Structure 1
């Protein structure tokens, strides 16, 4: 048998009750599929496709521990018995596969998009029109208890782990950073006061779920905002999180309001791994790298060089639900690579639309766009080998049609060939490479 080109990436990992088949994690994404006004079957199908694609762990989009912490009015929570059936459906989506599923507990804090949002202090985020109510000390303690209750419910329903979201500028991160925490009680002021909330939450969650259930804490490796945590403070928080009961540290890069690009195409692949390495060197538990990891060779390099123990990929799993399986089979050239355009994922979310993917329009539409065998089979001519023509051609051929693709120019690709020449847009080459490979695989005549 030919040796795997990604031995570290494909190696298993056991952490308490978590038994991961590989080191690849689908990071939490807000897709709006999880919104409570949408049928749960849609997000079930979305997760199921990624589980069948052999990803080791799926981390859900953020689930609020209380009503004040929801991202939007219709965002999911774990607050009442009425929520339990929805969560059971999520757990059921991976049943029968080797993939495990982790519920992310996220309190949106001052990023919540409704009047009545809360934060450590009454300071409005520049990306939100609502000014938060400053939590009272009693409300902070109630929030800690809500995290513990949500984690206990997640364990009882059948999730394999919980992730406590402490990065990207959400509530916990707002408490840890001086720029957003102007409190004068025990949860503000000094470094000890500012980290009191995350440590108390981890401790409360550990007490609630017991010693055998995995807890992931997502720490902000770099805030990238003026008045954020210092590097030394971040490392000390990592150590304290481990001591408090965290089993794995996931890493976030930058707040949502940061001016520094963190996930766009002009960020080098794996470009933030250096910040993750500093955290890994400070703790003894596994650490997860994230952001702009869209290629199995890059992921393997990060792990093999000791910069991290796992890799979290979110948008790459929008682009190709079979990313992990193709990596295992040594078929990296068959991966539909995320080009970091953000045009159909992040842009859609900011417009309050469902996320999908420029290179994979089926993402989020798994129940709508199911390719059935063609009856009857036809001979089809497709004129023009731009992005639309190529996509139609290989999809029609996959259904069984006999397809001929005509192009007057010397090369395939149409405007994709122009797009890739824009500075910083070289990732569009990956889209063109994938389309060409699919045409060959489906035996489209050119």
Structure 2
């Protein structure tokens, strides 16, 4: 068993003893917009507390209406709200956990007409222009933070966290970029940090001790006009002197052009910025961002970078992360793959958060837990994400499951995803599935093509079809030409394409193929390669920690992407990650053409038409990424025999390798059989 003694060691924060060094970081879930919101939040946090996480940081609550994230967003500014918060704190405490309320004023990021900021100037990610706070309004806002902190104590929270990172209001005061004030809260460095210091002092005075007082500092801003590392360290020392018990570290602003938490970001890559804070103070410091395994957490603590670690999305993926770490079964942790598809992408498109690898996250009250009334023999055909998810969840309920997979390995098209640069975390997803299938005793029949005869000749109570998708082949002349190849053959290495490549189809698969052809595998694994590519000054010696980004130094291939739709390529990619991929492809000079019709493929290359004008692109290969069709042949044959098999995943609805929908659908079916 791996030695993880540091991450499992108790830590005293102020007057509070935490049982281990693992913390669930704050994240907005939008669960408050659903039915039975307080019951949902209570169940959500209680599951993480029961999973033995050392401390929970709640999602951010604004101290006043102008600071909410959006219309109807979380707000805690009155005694009438105490009971709903007590539902949450009581559930966490009953489960053996501790929870701190994060106080977050969104500032100029607040998507409300009444949004405010230290100075005029609209954020590029918000359509509303902020009102610049007067000096009197600044002092009133400080008082609002204090009142919310006091309410949090009445509601049963174990402390509060002041959100001073990620470009929200408090961070806007500390940065020259957004603070051009001439009163006591602007101008010099000391004046710019006065706002957060006054908040911390006033909250500490109001709460006294022992409630925990945490401050989330921006360890590196990653925007022009941000702080330098020396200022961050000096600021941290003053935060400690003002009364904070612990400093949490944030990274970057939401409008930064540098990715901070997507899968393309190497694990624990911000360690130098965090260490800068740790070396400046004597109180505990918490690391955050791209920490998704106990081993990474252990290394950060053992090497002195931080005293404890904050993990938000990893606790969506597996609420028992800490418990499994203590039990030494880390191979059974359902690891966050940093895809952002079900969490951040949903939040940024005004939907509620959940998790691709764990659809129960945020939906705990919708999924019954326990053994089924009767154990049944179930055949599952297809070992992709839908088939594996169903097999695992059904086996956990006591059913006897046999999984048929025509290939000699499980994973389906997840095995394609893991080959794409920036998606190395899919190896973790496959590891989790394989371990759970083995631990639960699922019978695997690999390399066996299930047939009607096979399935009807054995005594199965249920048959679940999860046969996935097959690539759609466009219908135009020359589609069978040797130059035309499937994305599957390219991503599996069966075909090595030439130096001149056209990609037909610009959905997620098309973009994955383009990135695969660039060959930038190291950027998501090597910190220095990442910093060079995105222009990060590791020493944080220049404002915001920005440097000149290096040009693309990868493959010399000429790649041209096409799509039929007359809209910008990549428009439908994930909100929080699509911009990263598009930026990388632009840097590599990938050509992109929208509104194209495909005329032919022949020895000359790809013939296509745009706006009525015909073109010929000389290429060595044309990679077909034109969508998928459901592979339903076996399902239809079983139906023809009078059987009623269930169908899930791509076999049910074909779409862009939609593991999110497939796993959710499979899990929901498994808890009903």
Cα root mean square deviation, aligned: 1.3
Specify whether residues 378 and 97 from structure 1 end up closer, same or farther in structure 2 by C-alpha distance, changes over 3 A only: closer
CA distance in 1, matches of 2:35, 2:191: 39
In the comparison of the two structures, how many residue pairs are matched? 444
More displaced 10-residue stretch of structure 1: 70-79 or 405-414: 70-79
Spell out the pairing of 1:257-406 with structure 2 (5 A cutoff). 257-406=255-404
- Distance in 2 (CA, whole Å) between partners of 1:240 and 1:125 is 28
Using the alignment, how far apart are the partners of 2:288 and 2:72 within structure 1?
Answer: 28
Q: TM-score, normalised by structure 1?
A: 0.97
Aligned partner (choices 120, 125, 142) of residue 140 of structure 2:
142
Matched residue, 2:88:
90
Q: Distance in 2 between matches of 1:236 and 1:420?
A: 42
The CA distance in 2 between the partners of 1:434 and 1:130, in whole Å, is 43
Q: Which residue pairs with 1:198 in the alignment?
A: 196
TM-fit CA distance, 1:62 = 0.2
What residue is the counterpart of 2:231 in the other structure? 233
| Greater shift in the superposed pair: 138-147 or 206-215 | 206-215
Distance 1:191 1:346, change over 3 A: same
**Cα distance 1:281–1:75, how it changes in 2: closer, same or farther (>3 A)?**
same
Structure 2 SS opposite 1:220:
strand
Alignment of 1:76-155 (within 5 A): 76-155=74-153
Task: Confirm or deny: 8 A CA contact 2:229 2:276 kept in the other structure.
Answer: no
Q: Which residue of 60, 72, 82 corresponds with 1:62?
A: 60
TM-score where L is the length of structure 2: 0.65
Task: Give the superposition deviation at 1:98.
Answer: 3.2
> Offset at 1:101?
0.6
**Contact persistence 1:219–1:238 (CA under 8 A):** yes
- Secondary structure of the residue that 1:326 maps to in structure 2? helix
Q: 1:37 Cα shift?
A: 6.7
- Cross-structure match for 2:569: none
Q: CA deviation at 1:402?
A: 1.3
Residues 13 and 186 (structure 1), Cα distance of their counterparts in 2 relative to 1, 3 Å cut: same
- SS of the equivalent of 2:205 reads helix
| Corresponding residue for residue 38 of structure 2 | 40
Q: Which runs of 4+ in 1 moved over 3 A?
A: 34-38
- Secondary structure of 1:367's aligned partner: helix
**Aligned CA distance change for structure 1 residues 5 and 34 (closer, same or farther; 3 Å):** farther
Q: What's the secondary structure of 1:221's corresponding residue?
A: strand
Per the alignment, residue 175 of structure 2 pairs with 177
User: 1:45-93: per-residue Cα shift (whole Å, max 9, x none)?
Assistant: 0001000000000000001111111112212222112211121112112
In 1, Cα distance between the equivalents of 2:155 and 2:78? 13
**Conservation of the 8 A alpha-carbon contact between 2:324 and 2:333:** yes
Structure-2 separation of matches of 1:161 and 1:283: 20
Partner Cα distance (1:234, 1:178) in 2: 13
Moved more, 314-323 or 181-190: 181-190
Q: Deviations over 1:394-425 (max 9, x none)?
A: 11111111111101112111000000001111
Query: Partners of 1:299 and 1:406 in 2: how far apart?
Result: 37
CA distance in 1, matches of 2:342, 2:97: 26
1:13 to 8, 11, 14: 11
> Residue 87 of structure 1 aligns to a residue in which SS?
helix
Q: Which has the larger radius of gyration?
A: 2
Partner of 1:93, secondary structure, is helix
- Is 1:22 the counterpart of 2:20? The answer is yes
Residue in structure 2 matched with residue 436 of structure 1 by the alignment: 434
CA distance in 2, matches of 1:106, 1:100: 19
Partner of 2:498: none
Q: The residue matched to 2:61 in structure 1 has which SS?
A: coil
Comparing 154-163 and 139-148, the one that deviates more: 154-163
Per-residue deviation, residues 220-268 of structure 1 (Å, max 9, x unmatched)? 0000001111111111110110111111000000001111111011111
Aligned equivalents of 1:212 and 1:424: distance in 2? 44
Rounded Cα–Cα distance in structure 2 between residues aligned with 1:297 and 1:98: 25
Structure 2 counterpart SS, 1:236? helix
* Alpha-carbon distance in structure 2 between the residues aligned to 1:342 and 1:171: 24
Quote the residue 2:409 is aligned against. Answer: 411
